[in-house]
């Protein structure tokens, strides 16, 4: 186990954070295991209570630990990496060995306003299906997804129960919709009271707000506006090396 180096310029709380993270990563502290009490950590590393609390608070904020009032502090599950590919929720969860689920919150057909008409390249007033679902993984709420699809693309889509089924699967098998391109924006946000309740989070918790446009043959066919739990998802992307400013290869 690591030690605190009193001569290091790295603050002691940050060193302890690193030691605890190593224990989590090496699975010496597995998921849902309690971490040693504040008193034990103070004794073991010769630190003040304030320093220990600062390290633990940091890890709680980062989503690596969670507190249960009256019980202690435990190791959190690792976050899920948000796919930066055009995959369905169902496909993504299955690939991780988790059971995908969907609860139908609301579905209706509305008339396209100017914005939607522009997005879908359809006349204002044309029907657009709106499907709101709570997405779950192994029964745990993960996201609220609100998909909008022009009715011309999938006329009787709302006659199909969209509870525990894959929307993309239905679109492909029943309506021949196969997406061939997509774009997505991701922003930080705070859960409003409705989403917080659905996602089982305290109101005002951090969430990720996503907007996805999925295309077929150059036309947008789905506009999804979704709220994902920030305590369960993280983003990872490959970094491209910019061409300019790259050092010339050595001769
Ligand atoms: C993804 C999509 C969503 C789509 C859903 C279909 C986002 C950010 N992404 O979660 O647009 O409706 O997959 O999943 O919302 P399904 O085929 O499992 O129903």
What does each of the 251 residues of the chain score in pLDDT, given as a tens digit?
Answer: 788 999 999 999 999 999 999 999 888 899 999 999 999 999 999 999 999 999 999 999 888 999 999 999 999 988 888 888 899 999 999 998 999 999 999 999 999 999 999 999 999 999 999 999 999 999 999 999 999 999 999 999 999 998 889 999 999 999 999 999 999 999 999 999 999 999 999 889 999 999 999 999 999 999 999 999 998 888 888 888 888 766 666 66
Yes or no: say if 136 and 103 are a contact pair by the CB < 8 Å rule: yes
Cα separation of 89 and 226, whole Å? 12
Q: Whose CA is nearest to atom 4 of ligand 1?
A: 88
Beta-carbon contacts of residue 71 (< 8 Å; ≥ 6 apart): 34
Residue 5 pLDDT: 93
pLDDT at residue 65 in the model: 94
- Residue 208 Cα to ligand 1 midpoint, Å, equals 14
Q: Which of 66, 62, 51 is nearest to 14 (CA)?
A: 51
pLDDT attached to residue 246: 61
Q: What's the gap in Å between 105 CA and the centre of ligand 1?
A: 15
Mutate to test the pocket of ligand 1, among 80, 83, 89 (most ligand atoms within 8 A of CB): 89
The residue nearest atom 10 of ligand 1, judged by CA position, is 89
Stated pTM of the model? 0.83
Count of CA atoms in the C-beta half-sphere (13 A) of 169: 11
Q: What's the pLDDT score for residue 251?
A: 60
């Amino acid at each position: 186990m690591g030690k605190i180096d009193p001569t290091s310029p790295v603050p002691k709380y940050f060193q302890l954070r690193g030691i605890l993270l190593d224990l989590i990563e090496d699975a010496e502290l597995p998921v849902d295991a309690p971490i040693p009490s504040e008193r034990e950590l103070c004794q073991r590393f010769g630190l003040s209570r304030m320093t220990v609390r600062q390290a633990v608070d940091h890890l709680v904020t980062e989503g690596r630990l969670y507190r249960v009032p009256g019980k202690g502090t435990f190791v959190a599950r690792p976050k899920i990496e948000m796919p930066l590919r055009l995959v369905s929720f169902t496909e993504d969860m299955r690939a991780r060995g988790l059971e995908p689920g969907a609860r139908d919150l609301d579905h209706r057909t509305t008339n396209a306003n100017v914005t939607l008409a522009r997005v879908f390249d359809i006349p204002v007033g044309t029907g657009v299906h709106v499907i709101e679902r709570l997405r779950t993984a192994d029964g745990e709420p993960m996201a609220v997804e609100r998909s909008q699809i022009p009715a011309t693309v999938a006329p009787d889509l709302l006659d199909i129960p969209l509870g525990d089924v894959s929307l993309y699967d239905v679109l492909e098998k029943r309506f021949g919709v196969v997406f061939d391109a997509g774009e997505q924006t991701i922003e930080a946000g705070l859960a409003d009271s409705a989403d917080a309740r659905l996602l089982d989070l305290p109101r005002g918790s951090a969430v990720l707000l996503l907007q996805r446009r999925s295309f077929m043959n150059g036309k947008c066919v789905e506009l999804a506006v979704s709220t994902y739990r920030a305590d369960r998802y993280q983003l990872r992307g490959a970094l491209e090396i910019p061409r300019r400013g790259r050092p010339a290869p050595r001769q």
